[in-house]
Structures are given as structure tokens and as C-alpha cells.
Amino acid sequence: MPKMLSLMCLREVIEAIGACIDDNDVWQRYSWVYADGDGSVEGCQLYLSSPHDEGKEEPGEGDDRPGFAVSNNLYPFLEASTFAAVLQVQKRQKLDSTVHDYAKALDHYCHYDAFLGLTEPPGPASKNQEMPFKHLGFNIYREYDLLFEQCPSQHLPAMARAASEILRVPIGEALSLCRRPPVQLGQRVDGRISTRIEKRCYGLPLLVQIYVPFPWLDASRSGHR
């Protein structure tokens, strides 16, 4: 009996990619995006395969697709890393892209092997672009600001030591910074760096601002730790 897979809509696949830390994390977690049809990806049911999925099954008989894809009538759409790259390029052109915007970009790449609307090599999103709303990030992965908004006297020595280690400055300079808050410990950093800073500042009044990758996501986890 064929294994039944948990299929997703396009929004769910986009969010799964955006839940990764960076491009390398995508590459380690996922291999291919499969679709159950050849129409617009926005109307298809999708499966996001892992390296484990791809490695454990032999191709179907007379078919290059893995057995799970054959038995569930799924066809390769894009490699997961390429899927993420298309999202990134689309976001750099329009920060508040919708699911429909991403669908058009993905369909175009699938059909033409080219990024939609791109006439020159993609660069980083401009920090000068007007932000559609304040919690939207520049990347397709979450970004974080971490700071000591206030430095209460009872925490001042510990906060200065933490700031010295994180910012790699002498303790005297860190103490001076903490006496004139706010102290920026990380700006638009990724999830790995954010986790390291939060662990080092455990027990201290640290403010964490989360920037979500897509405008429909909730940034309510922002706040003091």
C-alpha cells in the first residue's frame, strides 16, 4: 500500500522554507518540492521532501521519480534550494510580496529557468526601501534585533560583562555603553546568532525584536526575554 504523504498548499511550503535559519539550513532539511499537477503552483498540492525521503526510496519502475512520488502521483517542481532562491529574488523586488506574487515568480522560473522581472544579478534588499510594516524583514528568513533597552543598576555589572563578550569590546567600554542605554547587541541577525545572544543574556532584561519574512505572519513573540 503506498505511503500517504502530508501535502501542503503553497503558503505552507513558503512558510516552511521561511522557518529555516538560512540557505544552508534549507539545503540540510529539504531536497525537492513536488507538485500534484502541472498548472500554476498556487493551485497545486505540494510535498516538501527531505534528504531522507530521497535517499531511502528507489526510483519507481520505469520512472526516474522516487517511489513515494510515483505512488502519490507527484512530479518534481523545483529543488528546495532553488525554490528558496526564487522567493528571495522576488522579495528583494517587492518586500511585501503576497502568496500570489510568489506563485507568479515560481511559475515563471519553472517555465523559463529565469527569475521573473530580473534584468541584472540580484543584490541584497535595499535597507532604504520604505517598510510596508515595521515587523517585516528584508530576508525570507526571520531576522532579530537584540538590545538592552534599559540597564537597571542591579544588573549593570552582569549586563556589562555580557555586552563586552557579545560586542567584543573591553569591559570598561561595555560598562560605559550600559550606563547610556539602549545597547544594541545584534541588529538584523539570524536565528543562530540570536540564540547565542539570548543564551548569554539569560536572566537579564533583554529586548528581542523579531522581523518576520512574510507580511501575513505574526511577530507577536517580540518583547522582553
What number of other Cβ atoms are within 10 A of residue 128's Cβ? Answer: 5
What pLDDT score does 225 carry? Answer: 67
> For the chain, where are the E strands, in sequence order?
32-35, 46-48, 75-79, 143-148, 183-189, 207-211, 223-224
> Residue 1 — pLDDT band, cuts 50, 70, 90?
very low
Domain boundaries, the chain: 10-112, 143-224
> Residue 101 — pLDDT band, cuts 50, 70, 90?
very high
What pLDDT score does 117 carry? Answer: 80
What pLDDT score does 3 carry? Answer: 62
CA distance 37 to 43: 9
pLDDT by residue (tens digit) across 42-90?
999 999 999 988 876 666 566 788 888 888 899 999 999 999 999 999 9
- Overall fold of domain 143-224: Ribosomal Protein L30; Chain: A, (3.30.1390)
Name the pTM for this structure.
0.86
What pLDDT score does 25 carry? Answer: 96
Residues 6+ apart with CB under 8 A from 148: 159, 163, 178, 181, 182, 183, 185, 204, 205, 206, 207
CA distance 14 to 150: 37
CA distance 97 to 213: 10
- Higher pLDDT among residues 190 and 69, named by residue: 190
Sign of the C-alpha dihedral computed for residues 7, 10, 13 and 19 taken in this order: negative
What pLDDT score does 13 carry? Answer: 98
Decide if 199 contacts 166 (C-beta within 8 A).
Answer: no
pLDDT by residue (tens digit) across 127-171?
555 555 778 999 999 999 999 999 999 999 999 999 999 999 999
Decide if 78 contacts 110 (C-beta within 8 A).
Answer: yes
